Each structure stands twice: as structure tokens, then as C-alpha cells.
Homo-oligomer: A and B are copies of this chain.
Amino acid sequence: MVSRQSTRLTSATPAIADAHFRAEAQPYDRQRRPDGYLNLGTAENRLLWDTLHDRVARLTPMTEQTTRYAPLHGTPELREWIAALLSTSCQTLLHPDELVVISGATGALDAIATALCDPGEAIVVPAPYYGAFDTDLAGRSGARIIPAPLRADNGFRLDAAAVDRALTEARAQGEAVRAVALSSPSNPVGEVHTPETLTALLRVVRAHDVDLITDEIYAHATFGDRPFTSLVDPAVNPDWADRTHLVWGFAKDFGLPGLKAGVLHTRHPDVLTAARALAYFAPVSTATQDLLAQLLADPAWVTAFLAEGRRRLAASYAHATALLDTHAIPYAPAEGGFSVWLDLSRWTGPAWQGEERLWRGLFESARVSILPGSAFHSPHPGWFRMCHTMDAELVTEAVRRTAAHLAHAPADESGAPV
């Protein structure tokens, strides 16, 4: 009855969305629902609203001009302000005409994948990776994702050699690889990549003559000692700029995921033309664009807001990891993002069934929603993504429940980490 192209989509609903809405339907409340779900599965930043609230309340309401048709790849005002913001974080001048505003980072990823790939062509992605890439990059475009597995023994740090191997093997098998895509800072690991790693990655991408898609939606959500380096920064990318395509949005850095305001930056004229044509199908409400442009038009407020966001993120991470340390739950250290990448392989054993069993146990019995590594195409079982950007009490309760559940979970016989 329905088309084959839509059937492909319906068979691939992201597990992330499903767990989110189940957990949200019966949330924990210390007084009223102490046995409710603790949703640490969704990368939402719940730490920011009080710093946004006053500024939002002072916004000018929609005008007649706002209600009218506007360029479907974003209003000039919003693109100018986004260009100014990202020119700072990317350390290079981004032109407003190189930006395409589109419905969410999802829309931006779909647009760049569709612009670059025909159905069946491939995108190599270092794994573990943000699970929704499967839908965002491959769902409508028809592209295929080929994971480049990273190594568990160094906490899944980005490794250009792993990407090189995946590209070489894919080519050897006759795959038409068009691009490499990654989250930077990484998700789920939360690594802020070093300039050396990024330089090495660009060398690989250039050697294989493929485009690079860099999802920098967590660009301002860093808290470690290492400053964020964009992949479009000329310091690491002096000569692959027009083959490097940047995705950003307001969901993470500004804590506004519901507004579905994403942006694609590209310097390649043909890709830009294609992305604008694709934005026609997924434009952002002018009312929302106006709201966001008004926020960005107050750079002093933006600077203070983002700095406060980073302070709170650092405190939240420190709180979460201190709890994990107390309960002797191992994890890979993070310098960015909203989550901690937990190593629970001691409790899952070396098989995917063990990971699945522990995930279900935590969700159904402990009523803690954290996402299993399989949702991120982790190359090794036993890892879980735990988001911590919410009320500290909820994180405390979630780690307490998790530790209690693990105390009763059957440990791997060998006792050794995978």
C-alpha cells in the first residue's frame, strides 16, 4: 500500500525517541511519584531555563512582517547572527550566505547527506556514534552508514587511523563512499578532539577524496581544559574548507531542542544550492527565527549565557562523576556534551545479550533510562550513555538506583572488563 521509500523509514524509528517518551510519561517526583522514571537517556540540557526565562520574556512579540513569507533557507537577520556566533567558535569568518537554516540539526544532516549521496552511496562514521545519524543521514537520503570502529581500551577516542582503515576497506569492497561524518565534540563519548587528531582526520579525508560532515551541535557545551576546535578552523583545515560541511543548532548549546532550529554551513556552491532547495521542504517558522535572532542580537547576553552554561555543565559533570566514583562505576572521561559514557561491561559480560538484559533491567526494575551502547553502534558491548544535565537530585537518585541494581546484577564470570 505505501511506497517502498517510506517503508524503509518506518522500519527504523530511533530507539532514543521511544525510550524518551515512555520515561517522560511517568516521571520521577520525590513527593508524588518516588518510583517514577528517571530519564537520563535524552540529551536535553535542563540546567539553563532560569537564565533564559527573563530574556525570553523581554522579547518583542511577532510583527506583521514576521508572519509573511521569508527566504526558505532562513531569514537574513538570523543567518547574520548565527554567522557571527559561529565565526567566533569556529575561528574563521562564516558568511551568512553560506548558511542554510533548516528544521533542526536533523534537517541539516538530511540535507547534506542528500546533497552528497545518491541511494546506496556510503558515509563512514567513527563508532560509537549518535544513533539518530542512522535516520538523519541515511533515512531519506538513501545513503548507507559504514561504521569505523574505535577502540574500547582507550575509551573510544577519535582515531584517524580507524577512519582510514574503514575507508580503505569500504573502497576495496566496491562501496561508493562520499563522506565521513562525525560529532565534534563527540557523542556519546564527550571527547573534545585535539587539533592534532583533527589534522590527522583531515589528512585521511583528503587522501580518500571524500567530503567531511562535522556535527558541532555541542560546540559551546565544553567544560574541560581543552578548548574546542572546529573542523572548519583553518588551523586544522587549511585546504579542505569547501569539502567540509558544518552542522549546528540551538538544541544543545541554547537548550532549545523543541524549537527545531538547525543550520548547515557549506562553502561549496553546488552543495549550497542543493541544500537551499532541500530547505524548501523543512523551513523554520519565521516566528521562531525572529525569536532566536532577537536572542542572538544581544551578544553580551549570549556571551554571559554561554559562559554560565559551561559553568553549570562543568558542575553537573563533576557531581555526576563524583557519584560514579563513589559507587565504583567506571566511565570514559568527558570534556564536552551532556553525558557520561559508562563502562558497565563488568556487569553485562562480553555479549550483546548481556547489554540488552542490563538495559531492560535498569529501565523496568530500577526505572532508570540510560541508553545502551548498541543504540550508538558501539563496537563493544557493555557501554551506556548517561545524561546528567538536569536537577542534581535526579542524577543522585539515578546513580543510587543504578548502583543498587548493579549490586544485584550477575557480574561477568571472568570479572574482567571487556
Contact = CB atoms under 8 A, between A and B. Distances in A.
Interface string A1-20: 11111110110010001001
B118 A3 contact: yes
8 contacts: A5-B118, A5-B141, A5-B142, A67-B256, A103-B103, A103-B283, A140-B140, A285-B288
A277 to B, nearest CB: 4
Nearest to A258: B286
Contacts of A67: 49, 52, 255-259
Interface string A53-73: 100110101101011111110
Interface stretch (A109-117, A329-337, A346-354, A394-402): A109-117
Interface string A37-48: 000001010000
Contacts of A62: 56, 291
A257 B64 contact: no
A282 B281 contact: yes
Given A49-B67, A68-B258, A261-B285, 11 more contacts: A2-B115, A3-B118, A5-B118, A6-B277, A44-B69, A52-B67, A56-B61, A69-B257, A106-B280, A140-B278, A285-B288
A37 to B, nearest CB: 15
A96 to B, nearest CB: 16
A126 interface: no
Contacts of A145: none
Interface string A139-181: 1111000000000000000000000000000000000001000
Nearest to A113: B3
A13 B69 contact: no
Given A2-B270, A67-B49, A140-B140, A281 B110 contact: yes
A306 interface: no
Contacts of A274: 2-3, 6-7, 9-10
Contacts of A121: 3
Interface residues of A, number: 73
Q: Which of A255, A273, A280 has the most CB of B within 10 A?
A: A280
B280 A260 contact: no
Contact of A71 (B21, B59, B142, B273): B21
B278 A260 contact: no
A351 to B, nearest CB: 31
A271 B115 CA distance: 26
Interface string A100-137: 00011011001000111111010000000000000100
B277 A10 contact: yes
Contacts of A68: 44, 257-258
How many copies of this chain sit in the oligomeric assembly?
2
A319 interface: no
Interface of A: 1-7, 9-10, 13, 17, 20-21, 42, 44, 49, 52-53, 56-57, 59, 61-62, 64, 66-72, 103-104, 106-107, 110, 114-119, 121, 135, 139-142, 178, 255-261, 268, 270-271, 273-274, 277-278, 280-288, 291
Contact of A49 (B49, B64, B104, B288): B64
Contacts of A107: 281-282
A2 B271 contact: yes
A151 B323 CA distance: 76
Contacts of A271: 1-2
Given A114-B5, A287-B291, A106 B281 contact: yes
Q: Which of A6, A178, A268, A286 has the most CB of B within 10 A?
A: A6
A162 to B, nearest CB: 26
A278 B9 CA distance: 8
A19 to B, nearest CB: 12
A69 B49 contact: no
A126 B166 CA distance: 51
